[in-house]
Structure 1
Amino acid sequence: MPINNRELMKAISIVSDNANVRVCVKQSGKGAMVCGAICLAGGLLLGPPGLAIGGTVGGLTAYKMSSGTFRPIGEILMNDLTERQQEQLVQHVQAAVADVGVSDLALLIPLLARNADIQTAVLRTVTSFVTNELRLQIID
């Protein structure tokens, strides 16, 4: 019996969200550089008190710049992947689960909710896919 790819994507997203896996959508280094630059400017202008003020202002600026750039993998999988990327991910997950011993893919979705071995295999596959294919950095 063929498995519904959309349902499998939902199950993969739920497993990823339950594991609290998030990715950095944008560079975190940019925020660190802004924070450091403002801290340096404050130190040069006002001395030691300027370091404290610059660090605070730089940290707040970096926070504002990076808010919304760390997103759960489940959200990215369901909303940002193209149809082709979703099909690739489903194929990767099916191959990984075949190694674990699931022969009937129709049983995969219920097993995802209960079987820790299958969840681990799916999480490994998803993190590998996100890192290698989507070129996103995982932070959790």
Structure 2
Amino acid sequence: MPVVVADIMKLLCSVSEKRKMKAAVKHSGRGALVTGAVAFVGGLVGGPPGIAVGGAVGGLLGAWMTSGQFKPVPQIIMELPPSEQQKLVNEATAIIRHLDWTDAVQLTALVMGSEVLQQQLLGMLVSYVNKELRAEVQYDD
């Protein structure tokens, strides 16, 4: 059975949509830059105690700047370039290889009927989003 990329991408969107997965790319570089800059200014103004205060204030400011920028995972994975979508399809195919399906609707119905398959696909998606996209995953309840 040939693997159809669009069918598996639709499946991954359905699974992540059901769990209301969102992801936020961490802008840790920007946060670190802000933290360092504020600590540096604190050191210039207040010496060693200023570095400590500047680091704490900069850390809070950096964390605040980089939080709360979440996007739905289905949207993120559909916007991936074809090469990255193929990586996801390859990983998903390893999980669902034993299923016999003809189209996206049938494949989605088979997977949605199995909590085990859903959990395996979700685990794969979370791992991919964390490692490849360097993003944090959140579930809306």
Normalising TM by the smaller chain, what interval? Answer: 0.5 to 0.7
Displacement of 1:126 after TM fit?
A: 2.6
**Cα shift readout 1:86-110 (whole Å, capped 9, x = no counterpart):** 2342233122112xx4233543211
Instruction: Give the equivalent residue in structure 2 for 1:116.
Output: 115
Residue 21 of structure 2: SS of its match in structure 1? coil
In the alignment, structure 1 segments of 5+ residues that lack a partner are none
Identity among equivalent pairs (%) = 31
In the alignment, structure 2 segments of 5+ residues that lack a partner are none
Q: CA RMSD in A?
A: 3.8
Query: Matched residues in 2 for 1:121 and 1:53: separation?
Result: 44
Query: Matched residues in 1 for 2:43 and 2:130: separation?
Result: 38
2:34 and 2:62 in contact (8 A); partners too: yes
Alpha-carbon spacing, 1:7–1:33, altered in 2? closer, same or farther (3 Å) = same
* TM-score (norm: length of structure 2): 0.61
Instruction: Give the equivalent residue in structure 2 for 1:59.
Output: 60
**Cα shift readout 1:34-65 (whole Å, capped 9, x = no counterpart):** 1243145236525769966875566346534x
Q: Give the total of aligned pairs.
A: 133
* TM-score (norm: length of structure 1): 0.62
Query: Matched residues in 2 for 1:128 and 1:45: separation?
Result: 44
